[in-house]
Amino acid sequence: MQHPAVPELAHTHTHPIHWLATATAVAGVVALSSVVQPGSATAAQPAAGTEARSAPAAVAPPATTDVHFPLNCGPQKVRVQKQATGDLDGDGRPETVAVVRCDAPMGTPPDGVYILTRAADTGRARIVATLVDPEDRLNVTDFTVRAGAVTATLLGYSSADVPSCCPDLRTQAKWHWKGGAFVRSTPADAHSV
């Protein structure tokens, strides 16, 4: 099979003058765009008898930095293990859920799970609920915030004789906002071990 012969075209080889011409054209477009500005915009007014509703401004979820978590860690620091955000109470503003523990060099210290919101007066993050208290000696895995609910797997101990390395209880938990408080339930698809 023969291929048709294609003559070499002079414009297919670049030379420094081609790059100079391209750079000059780009500079001209940038300079022109800074001089030419669009006209002012006007908004359509709502028809008589109707109210215009604006979308709520996006609010950043509360950060865990500078929050004093109620853990007694002695000389160790408090460590945020996991965190997730979502609108848990349906007010249009996100809350942050933090899984927190003491940053111990050995062992597995218990976790605490706290819900943070922004204070209305200062905008600073503050704790508004404790879902898991570290005094309950639980560890949290499979932690998620989805569809206005917090779900987690809780690892615990059947007695004080069980070593802290080896939790022997596993429970599924789900919390959702109901009647002004976070209510704990067991997810429908939960299986105990």
Average pLDDT for 47-75: 74
How far from each other are the two terminal CA atoms of the chain, in whole angstroms?
71
Extract the tokens encoding 181.
């408080």
**pLDDT tens digits, 82-119:** 999 999 999 999 999 999 999 988 878 999 999 999 98
Q: How many CB atoms lie within 10 A of CB 107?
A: 9
Q: Which residues contact 83 (CB under 8 A, 6 or more apart)?
A: 64, 96, 97, 98, 99
Name which of 116, 129, 112, 120 is nearest 62 in CA terms. Answer: 116
Summarize pLDDT for 133-171 with one digit per residue, the tens. Answer: 999 999 999 999 999 999 999 999 999 898 888 899 999
Contacts of 52 (CB under 8 A, 6+ apart): 46
Cα distances from 142 to residues 69, 82, 134, 187, in angstroms, run 21, 10, 17, 13
pTM above 0.85, yes or no: no
Domain locations in the chain as residue ranges:
78-185
DSSP 8-state symbol, 91: S
